[in-house]
Structure 1
Amino acid sequence: MAAEAKVKSIFLYPIKSCRGISVSEAPLSSTGFRWDRQWVVVNAKGRACTQRVDPKLALVEVELPKDAFSIGWKPNMSSYLVIRAPGMDELKVSLCNPPQICDGVSVWEWSGSALDEGAEAAKWFTDYLGKPSRLVRFNEELEIRPVDSDYAPGFRVMFSDGYPFLLVSQGSLDTLNELLKEPVPINRFRPNLLVDGCEPFIEDLWKEIKIGNFLFNGVKLCARCKVPTINQENALSSSEPTETLVKFRSGKVLHPNRKGKGQVYFGHNMVCHDLHDGSEKMIKIGDPVYVISMFLSYDDTAT
């Protein structure tokens, strides 16, 4: 079987809605890439803060130990998540689980407990966002956050919006940028996997693929919110690229006889089937992407 594409970039986002990390390889876990959306900033009511309301989160950079992406790595007392933002002192958060449990944390439809990262982190984000905030970590020992069972029963995530993986192709980004007055980088769309070598938007129709030796299913096209309109370098928003995407990537254009006509789609949400035995596996830049089966048309894809 010939490869249809290859992995060009791997991204993960340790703190939901904050800046991502680009890595050459990343271990897979049952909730997606290890470390992906393991933390979230919450407001005084325990609700997740995102760039939709707090675009300044785009400027929050995070750093993990280099060894944190190795198979079998475990944190010790000198292992930290380092957090930086303009005008703020550096914040170090221990990767050893904090003892405090915070109840009433909610991300969209889900609510449960989380691990509170403490007063110093709370003050840092409160000062930065200008409103009472706390940094919490997903409570893996006590909580399970399932994805929508209508699309991918049996799968789960931490604080991701919906699904364990988001895949986009370089061809899709290039085609969009040819239509824009000012090209946008891939960080506007916050994918986990950027693949190259395939036709633009063909990833929309990937029903079943293998990346390296791991089996993935495309479960739902990604309907975009306002985040792609936020410049990830300065946190300023504009009408693009959504204004252009509406013209050729809306539900009205892609599947005019179905619901979701007002949505705009870019990227394909995916799940990986080879992660339920509890052992970690690795995906690397350069891994081949093999297409096993495809949807016949956009009318067959889930949106």
Structure 2
Amino acid sequence: MGSSEFAPTIPSAKVSGLFIYPIKSCRGISLSHVPLTPAVLKAPGMQPLKICLSKQHEVTDAVTVWEWTGSALDEGAEASRWFSDYLGKPCQLVRFNTASEVRQVDPDYVGSKHHTYFSDGYRFLLLSKESLDALNELLKEPMLINRFRPNILVEGCDPYSEDLWTEIKISSFSFLGVKLCSRCKVPTINQETGIAGSEPSETLMKTRSGKVIRPNAKNKNKVYFGQNMVWNRMESSVKGSGNIIKVGDPVYVLGKVSSAAEAAA
């Protein structure tokens, strides 16, 4: 992993958007700063569903995300009915059971000390506006950032600069850029209508596949867009009210590799 001896004094970018996804695969929420307070869920034609974060829960077994299977906390019959009625098939809303379960981030990339919950694989996904703009120039119909579901959107850098970033400081937080984000079919789904198409996968396969940007590495048929990150707690200086990231915060790159071909993926 590339690294520099001294911290830069000039930021490489700034935070231009912050997004959280309280429920896997549901609509993201745009924030001016984090963290978030208890959730209220909304959907067209439905009364809002309020989720109490302090109630007692029943435990549900055999919940699976990718390679992980474990128990989760059932959010109750009202939440199940709400999702079942809206989606037209039996559903259950569950929360990660932090009291008894651990889901590790892939130790091949970050060792065994980093954990996540029901996210795809990593706690944080960073993407630059410039990368989105560069992709949109190639698409017949430009796409909104919500197709790609980042947590942190930055701007002020060159397109795809984030491919190279291995150590990033934002506010009092230090992050490790650990793996280029290989994209599944979710970006092909219109976030407003739920209808899937062929883009941006077709264009990304031509411009951002492993074969194109990492020709000497494995996974040549995957497409990459964004940088997966973990919070480097040992290097973070969070004190008092310093545990907040805000839109407008400068982004400092403390370490990077020289090309996407050298990045982990």
TM-score normalised by the chain length of structure 2: 0.90
Give how far 1:86 is off. 2.2
How many Å separate the matches in 1 of 2:151 and 2:55? 25
**Which has the higher mean CA deviation after the structures are superposed, 88-97 or 209-218?**
88-97
Instruction: Report the equivalent of 1:195.
Output: 154
CA contact (8 A) 2:182 2:225 kept: yes
Give how far 1:264 is off. 0.6
Partner SS for 1:115: strand
Instruction: Report the equivalent of 1:293.
Output: 255
How many Å separate the matches in 1 of 2:253 and 2:51? 41
The one-letter code matched in structure 2 to 1:107 is: V
The one-letter code matched in structure 1 to 2:16 is: K
Partner of residue 245 from structure 1, selected from 167, 182, 204 = 204
Give how far 1:295 is off. 0.8
Instruction: Report the equivalent of 2:134.
Output: 175
CA contact (8 A) 1:180 1:244 kept: yes
What residue ranges of structure 2 are gaps of 5+ in the alignment?
Answer: 1-8
Partner of residue 122 from structure 1, selected from 58, 65, 80 = 80
Give how far 1:98 is off. 3.0
1:271 and 2:233 matched: no
Give how far 1:90 is off. 2.4
1:220 and 2:179 matched: yes
**Which has the higher mean CA deviation after the structures are superposed, 180-189 or 291-300?**
291-300
CA contact (8 A) 2:14 2:156 kept: yes
Spell out the pairing of 1:43-58 with structure 2 (5 A cutoff): none
1:160 and 2:119 matched: yes
> Whose strand proportion is higher, 1 or 2?
1
Partner SS for 1:286: coil
Instruction: Report the equivalent of 1:74.
Output: none
What residue ranges of structure 1 are gaps of 5+ in the alignment?
Answer: 28-34, 36-67, 69-79
- Aligned in 2, Cα 1:277/1:288: closer, same or farther, shift over 3 Å? closer
CA contact (8 A) 2:208 2:225 kept: yes
Give how far 1:277 is off. 10
Partner of residue 169 from structure 2, selected from 195, 203, 210 = 210
**Which has the higher mean CA deviation after the structures are superposed, 159-168 or 122-131?**
122-131
The one-letter code matched in structure 2 to 1:300 is: E
Number of residue-to-residue matches in the alignment: 253
RMSD: 1.8
The one-letter code matched in structure 1 to 2:101 is: E
**Which has the higher mean CA deviation after the structures are superposed, 268-277 or 166-175?**
268-277
How many Å separate the matches in 2 of 1:94 and 1:237? 33
1:85 and 2:43 matched: yes
CA contact (8 A) 2:13 2:155 kept: yes
- Aligned in 2, Cα 1:169/1:277: closer, same or farther, shift over 3 Å? closer
How many Å separate the matches in 1 of 2:67 and 2:209? 25
Instruction: Report the equivalent of 2:20.
Output: 12
How many Å separate the matches in 2 of 1:162 and 1:246? 21
Partner SS for 1:239: coil
The one-letter code matched in structure 1 to 2:23 is: I
- Aligned in 2, Cα 1:212/1:227: closer, same or farther, shift over 3 Å? same
How many Å separate the matches in 2 of 1:201 and 1:268? 9
1:140 and 2:98 matched: yes
How many Å separate the matches in 2 of 1:222 and 1:97? 35
How many Å separate the matches in 2 of 1:293 and 1:197? 18
The one-letter code matched in structure 1 to 2:119 is: S
Q: Residues 8-48 of structure 1: CA distance to partner in whole angstroms, max 9, x if unpaired? A: 00000000000011111114xxxxxxx6xxxxxxxxxxxxx
Q: Residues 187-214 of structure 1: CA distance to partner in whole angstroms, max 9, x if unpaired? A: 0000000000000001000011211232
How many Å separate the matches in 2 of 1:81 and 1:286? 25
CA contact (8 A) 2:173 2:237 kept: no
Instruction: Report the equivalent of 1:107.
Output: 65
